[in-house]
Structure 1
Amino acid sequence: MKKNITLSILSGLLLWIAWPPTPYTTFLLFLGFVPMLLAIENIIQSTATGKGKKIFNTAFLGFFVWNTLCVYWVYNSLKIIGPLVAIPITLIPYALGPLLMAIACWLYYRMRLITSRALSLVALVCFWVGYEYLHQSWDLNFPWMTIGNGFAISHQWIQWYEYTGVYGGTIWIWVVNILVFLLYVGLREAQVKTLRVKLVSAFALVLILPLGFSLYRYYSYKEAVNPSNIVVVQPNIEPYAKEGIPVYTQIKALTDLSDSIGQPNTEFFLWPETAISQYIDEDHILGSNHYAQVKQFINKYKNGNVITGGETYRMYDKRTNETASPMPNGGFWDHYSSAINIENSSKVQFYHKSRLVPGAEALPFGNVFSFLKPVFEHLGGATGAYTIQEQPGVFYSQSGIGAAPVICYESIYGAWVAKAVTEGAQFIAIITNDGWWENTSGKDQHLDYAKLRAIETRRWVCQSANTGISAFINQRGDVVQQSKWWVRAALKQDINLNTEITFYAAHGDYLPKAGSVLAVLGIVFVAIRRKRILA
C-alpha cells in the first residue's frame, strides 16, 4: 500500500513540475500519469478487498498534491472576503478537481472488471475528457487545470491547437502516458517481442508526428500584414486600496500613461479590469464625470477607443427580467462586471462578464442556494451579485475593427473566446486585475494560458493587467512584449489584425463533446453490466 501511495504522490509531483510557469520541464507531462497508472494496476492485480475504494483514495491523493501545488495562489485572491468564506471556496479548485479526476480513475477500474485493459484505457481517456468538459461547463466550473493547458509554456509544440483546442493536448498527453505505461507493464509481464515493437512504434509515431507538424507550422506560419497600433496600460494600483483613492486620480494615472506613448494612429487603449472603480449607471453614462474625463482624453486621438473595465448597473422600477435583484430602498437592479468601449462619438459599447469565478463572483446553483446570498453579502463577498451576458461580445471601432473583450477568468475558456472571433473580432483584448493573486505563479499562468487563445484563433492577444503582467502575444503564441510585475507601465505595439477563421474557432469544443458522449455511454455500460452481475 505504501508503494502505491508513493507512486500516486510521484505522479502529482511530476505533473506539478511540468506545469506552467516552470520552463524546460513540459516533457514530464508525457510521464506524469504513468506512476498513477502503475499504482492503479498494482491494486487491480492484488488480492486486496475494497479495490475500488483504494483506487479512488490513491488517485485522489496524487491529484490533490498536483492541484494544490499548482493553484495554491487561489486563496490569496479570496482572503479579502474573510476566512469563513475563502477557505470553503478555495476547496473548489483544491479538492473538487481531484475528486472528479479520482472518479474518472474509479470508472476506469469498473470498466476493467467487465472488459479488456486496452478498451478500458480508451474509456479512461473518454472519462477524463468528460470530467474536464463538465468542469468547464457546470456552475462549479474551474477549467484552470485542464491538462491541455500544460503546454502553454511550450506553445511551439501545440500549434495544431488551431484545429483541436486544448482538449487535443489532453488526449495527446493521455495517449503518450498510456503507451509508456503499457511498455513498462509489457516488460514486467514479459510480453512477446512483437507486441513490444508495436508499442514502441506507436509511441514514436504518437509523440513525433504531432510535435513535428507543430514545429513545422510554427516556423512556417506567416501573419498577413494588417497593422493596427494598440496601447496597453498597467496603472499598478493596489487592488485592496482602490476604494481609498479618488476615481479621478486613478483615471488621470491611466490617461497620463496612455498619453506617454500614444500616437496619432493609435486605435485602442486597453485599461485593466475595474479600472473605473466606482459604479456607473449604463443608462446615464453620458452624464457621468468619469465618462467625461475619459472622453476628454480620447478626443485627442481621431480613431481612438478606450476599452476599460468598470462596475456598471441598470435600475428598474419593477422586475422586468429574471436577473434583476431587489434593492434595499425599493426597485430592482442588474449589476455587472463590465468592459466598456468609449470612442470619439456619443456611442458607448458594453460587454458584461459572463464566465464568473464560482463562489467569489457567482453562487453555484444559485436557484437552489439563493438563501445563502445574504450570508455572502454580510461577510463582504460579491457572490451572486453579478448579472452575466449570455453571448460573447465584440467591440467595433468607428473604422470597423472588431475587438473581443475578455475579462480576467474568461480567458481560459477557449470556445467562448473563439465564438467572439467568429462574430467578427480581429484581435483579443484581455483586461484583468491579477493583483489579488499577489506575486505568485497565478499571474504567470494566466498570461501563459492567453498564448493558447492566440494559437486557437490565430489572433493577437493584447492584455492589460492592473499590477501585471501586461503583454502583447502574436498569432503564433509568442510573447512579443510584456511588462514586469508591480510596476507602473504602458506598452504599445503594431499588431496584425486577422479575419481568417480557424477550424477550432468554427467548430468549437467538438472533441470534448464527443468524449463526453462516449463517457456517458461507458458509464451506462458499466451500470448495466454491474446490474446484471448483481442479478
Structure 2
Amino acid sequence: MRNKYLLALLSAFLLWFAWPPIPYTSPLLFIGFVPLLIAIEQVIRGDFAQKGRKVFLLSFVTGVAWNTASIYWVYNAMNAFLPAGASLMVALIPFCLGPLLMALAFRGYYALRKKRDIWISFIGLISFWIAYEYLHQTWDLSFPWMTLGNGFASLHQLVQWYEYTGVYGGTVWIWLVNILAFLIFWQYKMRVSAYPPSRLAIILVAIVLIPAGLSLWRYAQYEEHINPSEIVVVQPNIDPYHKFGSITPNQQLDILLDLSRQVAKPNTEFFVWPETAISSPNGINEEDFREYPAYQRIFEFLNAYRNGNVLSGIESYRIYPDQQSITARKYDEGVYIDHFNAAVLIDQSSKLEFYHKSKLVPGAEQLPFGEMLAFMKPLFAHFGGTTGGYGSQAEPSVFYSQSGIGAAPVICYESIWGNYVAKYIENGAQFIAIVTNDGWWSDTSGKDQHFQYARLRAIENRRWVVRSANTGISGFINQRGDVVQKSDWWVPAALSQEINLNEELTIYTRFKDLIAYVFLFTGLLSGILLFVPRTR
C-alpha cells in the first residue's frame, strides 16, 4: 500500500501546484487526479481486505495534503486569535472537513464500481463530487474556497465560458479530462483495449481544445459597451490586529479622506473604502449614524464631487425592543442588540443605504448550527466574532447612487460565491464593489487567491470588479477578467479608474448554478443505483 499512498500524495502535489496564485500551471488540474485514480484502481483490482476503507483513506490523504498546502494561511489567522490547541481544533473545519467530503465522494464511486458499469461509476463520481462542492457552499460550515472550477482563476483566458456555466462548468471539465486521461493510461499499462485508446485520445483532445479554443476566441472578440464611470478605491493599510490600539477612528478617517482626495477627479462617482473602514470600538448605531462626526465629515467631503458617493465597509449595530432576530442578544432590560459586518452608501442627500453581510465566516462571524454547538461559543468569541454571531440579511441588496448607478456591495468572503454575487447583478448592479480586509492572513497566498477569484465573478457576470482591501490587494478587474490596475501589499494606496458599467445579463447570471442542479439529480440517481440489485 505504500506505493499507493505515494500516488495519492503525487495527486495532492499536482493539484496544489496547479492552484492559484501559482501562474500558468492551471492545466495540471487536467491530470491532478490521475495518480489517485490509478491507486484506487489498483485497490479495486487487488487482493485486499476492506477495499472501501482503503479507497476512502487514499482519497482523504490526497484531500488533506492538497487543502493544507493550498490554504495553510487560514491557520495564520486562527493562531493569532486562539491558543495553539484551540486554533488546531478550529482548523479542522477548512483542513479536514472538505477532504472528508471529498473522500466520501470517492467511497461512493467505489460502491458503484462494485455494482455498475465503469462509465456509470464515473458519472456517479462527478456527481458525488459536485454534491460535495454544493454542500460546502450552502451549509453552516461553508467553505467553497477549494471548488475545483476556482483553479482557473490564474489562467482566466481559458474559461471565458464561465459566463454560461460558472465555476461548476470548470469542475466538470477538469473531471472529464482526468477520467479520460486515466482510462488511456490504464489501458496502455494493462495492455487491454476495452475502449479503443485512439478514440479516447481523440475525445480527450477535443474536450480540452474545444472549450479552451472557444474561450480564447471569446476573450479576443469580447468588447465592452462604452458606459463610463469614474471610481476611486482606497487602501488605508491599517493593521487589523491593532486597529483601536495605535490609531483612533478619527485618525483612520483622516487617512481614508486624504487618500481619496489624492486621486479624485471632479467627476468621480464612487469612493470605495474597505471592510469595516468606518468603525468605533463599540460599533456604529445605524439609526443614529447621521449624528456621528464621521458621517458629518464624509458628507462635507462629498460636497466637492457633484455625483460623489462613498461606499464603505462599516461595523454597525441595531437596537430592538424585543428579539427580532435569532442573532440579537439581550443588552439591557427590554433592549436587544444585533451587530453587523456591513456596508453603507453615503451620498449628498440625507438617504443612507445599509447592507448586512450574508455569507458569514464559520466560527469568526457566526456559530455554525446554532444551539447544537452552543458549548463552543466562548471559543469562537476569541476568534474575533461575537458569542452570538453577527446578524445578516438573507438576500443581497444593491446600492443606488443619486444618478441611478447600481453597485453590488460584496463584503470579503462573499466574493467566492458565484451564485450569490449573480443575485446582485440580477437585481440591477452594474458593477461589483468588493470591500475586504485580507490583512488577517498576513503576506500569504490567501490574499492573492482571494484577489484572483474576483476575476471569475467578472467573467460570470461581465461586470467590472472594483476591489478595496484594507492592506491589499486592491484594484480594478475588467469584464474579461483582466487586472487593469492593482496595488502593492501593505502600503497605503489610492487608485482611480474609469470603468464601463453594464446592464446586460449573462446566461450564468440568469440561471446561476443550474449545472450543479443537473449533477445533483444524477448524483441522486447514482445513490439510488447503489440499492437497486443489478440484473443480468
TM norm. shorter chain > 0.5? yes
Instruction: List alignment gaps of at least 5 residues for structure 2.
Output: none
Query: What one-letter code is carried by the residue in structure 1 that aligns with 2:515?
Result: L
Query: Is the Cα contact below 8 Å between 2:158 and 2:215 reproduced in 1?
Result: yes
Residue 477 (structure 1) aligned with residue 481 (structure 2): yes
Alignment of 1:84-99 (within 5 A): 84-99=85-100
Instruction: List alignment gaps of at least 5 residues for structure 1.
Output: none
- In 1, Cα distance between the equivalents of 2:268 and 2:468? 16
- In 2, Cα distance between the equivalents of 1:378 and 1:120? 45
Query: Is the Cα contact below 8 Å between 1:359 and 1:383 reproduced in 2?
Result: no
Shift of 1:434: 0.3
Alignment of 1:375-524 (within 5 A): 375-377=379-381, 381-382=385-386, 384-524=388-528
Deviates more, 1:152-161 or 1:69-78: 69-78
- In structure 1, the residue matched to 2:56 is 56
- In structure 1, the residue matched to 2:279 is 277
- In 2, Cα distance between the equivalents of 1:472 and 1:379? 31
Question: What is the SS of the residue equivalent to 2:279?
Answer: strand
Shift of 1:320: 3.3
Query: What one-letter code is carried by the residue in structure 1 that aligns with 2:30?
Result: F
- CA displacement 1:446-472 (0-9 Å, x = unmatched): 000000000000000000000000010
Question: What is the SS of the residue equivalent to 1:276?
Answer: coil
Alignment of 1:355-370 (within 5 A): 355-370=359-374
Query: Is the Cα contact below 8 Å between 1:85 and 1:376 reproduced in 2?
Result: no
Shift of 1:49: 0.5
Shift of 1:323: 3.8
- CA displacement 1:272-326 (0-9 Å, x = unmatched): 0011121111111111112112112122211001011111111012223444221
- In 2, Cα distance between the equivalents of 1:262 and 1:21? 31
Question: What is the SS of the residue equivalent to 1:332?
Answer: strand
- In 2, Cα distance between the equivalents of 1:359 and 1:91? 12
Change (3 A) 1:281 1:509: same
Shift of 1:123: 0.9
Change (3 A) 1:240 1:375: closer
Shift of 1:193: 8.9
Q: How many residues align?
A: 531
Residue 214 (structure 1) aligned with residue 218 (structure 2): no
Query: Is the Cα contact below 8 Å between 1:81 and 1:381 reproduced in 2?
Result: no
- In structure 1, the residue matched to 2:172 is 171
- In structure 2, the residue matched to 1:16 is 16
Question: What is the SS of the residue equivalent to 1:308?
Answer: strand
- In 2, Cα distance between the equivalents of 1:348 and 1:123? 50
- In 1, Cα distance between the equivalents of 2:267 and 2:240? 32
TM-score by length of 1: 0.97
For residue 251 of structure 1, the aligned residue among 244, 250, 253 is 253
Shift of 1:516: 1.5
- CA displacement 1:110-167 (0-9 Å, x = unmatched): 0000011111011101110111001011111000000000000000000000000000
Query: What one-letter code is carried by the residue in structure 2 that aligns with 1:250?
Result: Q
Shift of 1:519: 1.3
Query: What one-letter code is carried by the residue in structure 1 that aligns with 2:267?
Result: N
Deviates more, 1:245-254 or 1:286-295: 286-295
- In 1, Cα distance between the equivalents of 2:385 and 2:80? 8
Query: Is the Cα contact below 8 Å between 2:327 and 2:388 reproduced in 1?
Result: no
Shift of 1:221: 0.2
Query: What one-letter code is carried by the residue in structure 2 that aligns with 1:254?
Result: L
Query: Is the Cα contact below 8 Å between 1:356 and 1:409 reproduced in 2?
Result: yes
Query: What one-letter code is carried by the residue in structure 1 that aligns with 2:386?
Result: A
- CA displacement 1:166-214 (0-9 Å, x = unmatched): 0000000000000000001111232339711210111011011000000
Query: Is the Cα contact below 8 Å between 1:358 and 1:364 reproduced in 2?
Result: yes
Query: What one-letter code is carried by the residue in structure 2 that aligns with 1:216?
Result: W
Deviates more, 1:205-214 or 1:511-520: 511-520
Change (3 A) 1:393 1:275: same
Shift of 1:438: 0.1
Shift of 1:371: 4.5
Query: Is the Cα contact below 8 Å between 1:406 and 1:417 reproduced in 2?
Result: yes
- In structure 2, the residue matched to 1:161 is 162
Alignment of 1:231-242 (within 5 A): 231-242=232-243
Query: Is the Cα contact below 8 Å between 2:363 and 2:380 reproduced in 1?
Result: no
- In structure 2, the residue matched to 1:111 is 112
Query: What one-letter code is carried by the residue in structure 2 that aligns with 1:88?
Result: M
- CA displacement 1:366-399 (0-9 Å, x = unmatched): 1322354345336764354201110011000000
Query: What one-letter code is carried by the residue in structure 2 that aligns with 1:255?
Result: L
- In 2, Cα distance between the equivalents of 1:457 and 1:510? 15
Question: What is the SS of the residue equivalent to 2:91?
Answer: helix
Query: Is the Cα contact below 8 Å between 2:81 and 2:382 reproduced in 1?
Result: no
Query: What one-letter code is carried by the residue in structure 1 that aligns with 2:58?
Result: T
- In 2, Cα distance between the equivalents of 1:78 and 1:402? 36
- In 1, Cα distance between the equivalents of 2:465 and 2:449? 15
Question: What is the SS of the residue equivalent to 1:243?
Answer: coil
Query: What one-letter code is carried by the residue in structure 2 that aligns with 1:163?
Result: Y
- In 1, Cα distance between the equivalents of 2:192 and 2:325? 65
Query: Is the Cα contact below 8 Å between 2:448 and 2:473 reproduced in 1?
Result: yes
- CA displacement 1:85-126 (0-9 Å, x = unmatched): 432222111111111001100100000000111110111011
Residue 75 (structure 1) aligned with residue 75 (structure 2): yes
Query: What one-letter code is carried by the residue in structure 2 that aligns with 1:466?
Result: N
Question: What is the SS of the residue equivalent to 1:315?
Answer: strand
Change (3 A) 1:119 1:261: same
Residue 318 (structure 1) aligned with residue 311 (structure 2): no
